[in-house]
Amino acid sequence: MTPTLRKPAEVKSRRRPARVGALASLPLFFPLEGRKVVLAGGSDAAAWKAELLAAAGAEVHVYAEDLGTAFEGVIACETTKGRFVHHARCWSVDSFEGAVLAVADAVSEGEAQAFACAARGMGLPVNVIDKPAFCDFQFGSIVNRSPVVIGISTNGVAPILGQAIRRRIETLLPESLQGWAQLASRLREKTLSLLEAGAQRRRFWERISDLAFSGKSAPVEEEDLAEALLDDARSSAAGKVTLVGAGPGDAEYLTLKAVRALQSADVILFDDLVDDAVLELARREAKRMLVGKRGGRESCRQEDINDMMVSLAQQGKHVVRLKCGDPMIFGRGGEELDRLAAEGIPATVVPGITAASAMAARLGISLTHRDHAQSVRFVTGHSRHGELPETVDWHGLTDTSTTTVFYMGARTAGRIRDRLVAEGLSATTPVVAVSGISRNDEQRWSGSLSELESGVTSLGLDGPMLIGVGEVFQAANRQTGQMEGSELHQHFAAALETIRAENPGTLRLGKTAAI
């Protein structure tokens, strides 16, 4: 079937207009350097708050007759940005004079209420540790790459969750980010005076951002780097293209490098099968152009896509060519790179998780399990004209120590089966077919090679599908059987519960059960 041709079309973001949803509290970043903060209490909990406040540069006035061991250690630390003033007595109303915040670790409700009332009477925001009723603000979890500081709040209802989120974010931010952020702070005034607002400044800061996540440490002497970046920002009239692999569907399969490319793109040319959740990670201002190609469906010509990439890059745009899976595995990435190179346009590739790897992960099967396969092959299921590709070594695909994965083979499943059997592969060879891998509508079928066509047809021919052939998929057949048995058990158990509910006292389960 010859696909109907269509032109690339712009697709508007599905994000709502810039309106902020309901907030449990307003996140604020409050500078404290050189400012007085009152802290009542000498406990370990108070010590932790004191350390945070001093790290922000505050002058922390501590009111406590006695200090715990942890608090004494905090005060003795000489690397603290702020400073401590210990008053070996309880707080009084005049303690709040000149302060900007008040924090306390109160033993009783009465003590907490007295402290909060006195501080509020002086116009100060109050936090009483572990007593939300007396808190005007909370201390959230912090990711510290100062001057980059990320605060995480669950509004006091789930602090452990906040800590878990903090740990997840910390794994995404390299320690070297702190040095690059400090460098950016030093270069800010220079960029404002030497670079034009708009494209030049954005190119400069995008390059700094790329370096910040490169894993390299920021240079101690930045003059040479700064001059090189400034020259690059001023002279980069030409654009560039980044071929990005979006993975098989689930946005969580994206690499960090892919997300960064999306967030720096001016224009995104994306395929039909790219999930909306992936596109929502892109820069808000980026233009989105649908240029998908689907077998047997309305499709854009590859030549039109190539022309568009070249034209946009020549206008100085950063173009992201967003492809499902990996751009270099049946993604025509090579053709696009050849055209860009011929036009002298710089291009880079961000690899993605190819569908075969995602299928293996979803099935819990190793494509090269050493007991069954010593090699793996990825094969296209059709040629340019929709037939089986004749340039494939079909006899070689019958090697029982090789796992074969067919891409785009749904409509040729019957012919794939016939050709493999004709070349000598046993009709009982285990096979699987998975449609919509990692998507909400994912479907699976497993069986033998002789059943392949009917199995594929049962999944439908509209979605993206992979076919796996080889002994490693015998495990998938067993899993399917176990799953079906488990589901039957669940249905049986549900039926028993229904009968019990409708006929209380009439059914007893033991060695036998009569229904």
Higher pLDDT, 50 or 229: 50
Produce one character per residue of 135-168: b if its CB has 16 or more CB atoms within 10 Å, e if not.
beebbbbebebeebebebbbeeeebeebeebbee
Instruction: Report, at the CATH architecture level, how domain 237-352 is classified.
Output: 3-Layer(aba) Sandwich (3.40)
pLDDT at 510 over 70: no
How high is the pLDDT of residue 501?
52
Write down the catalytic residue from 257, 293, 304, 418: 293
**Residues 208, 214 contacting (CB under 8 angstroms):** no
Using 50, 70 and 90 to split pLDDT, how confident is the model at 413?
Answer: very high
* pLDDT tens digits for range 64-82: 999 999 999 998 887 678 9
For the structural domain made of 356-478, what CATH number should be given? 3.30.950.10
Task: Using the predicted structure, report yes or no on whether residue 514 has a pLDDT greater than 60.
Answer: no
Q: Is 130 a catalytic residue?
A: no
Query: Is cis: bond before 147, omega within 30 of 0?
Result: yes
Confidence of residue 316 (pLDDT cuts 50, 70, 90): confident
Of 164-173, 310-319, 399-408, 488-497, the range with the lowest mean pLDDT is 488-497
Which of these is catalytic: 250, 266, 271, 326?
271
* pLDDT of res. 108: 95
Given this model, what pLDDT does residue 435 score? 94
Higher confidence at residue 293 or residue 17?
Answer: 293
Q: How far apart are CA 447 and CA 174, in angstroms?
A: 46
Q: Does the pLDDT at position 328 exceed 80?
A: yes
Angle in degrees, CA 305, 311, 312, rounded to 5: 90
Assign 150 a pLDDT band (cuts: 50, 70, 90). Answer: very high
Name the maximum alpha-carbon separation found in the chain: 95
Average pLDDT on 274-300 reads 80
Question: Quick check: 18 pLDDT over 80?
Answer: no
Mean pLDDT of 370-378: 92
- Distance, CA of 366 to CA of 473 (rounded, Å): 9
Per-residue confidence band for 398, with pLDDT thresholds at 50, 70 and 90:
very high
Q: What is the CATH number of domain 36-139?
A: 3.40.50.720
The pLDDT-based confidence of 219 (bands split at 50, 70, 90) is confident
Q: Residue 247 has what DSSP assignment?
A: B
What is the model's pTM?
Answer: 0.64
Query: Is 293 among the catalytic positions?
Result: yes
Residue 508 to residue 515: CA distance in whole angstroms? 10
Q: Where are the domains of the chain?
A: 36-139, 174-235, 237-352, 356-478
Average pLDDT over residues 373-379: 94
Task: With a cut of 80, say whether residue 383 has pLDDT above it.
Answer: no
**Alpha helices for 213-301 (secondary structure H):** 223-235, 256-263, 276-279
The DSSP string of 357-409 is: HHHHHHHT--TT-TTT-SEEEEEESS-TTSS--TTS-TTGGG-TTEEEEEES-
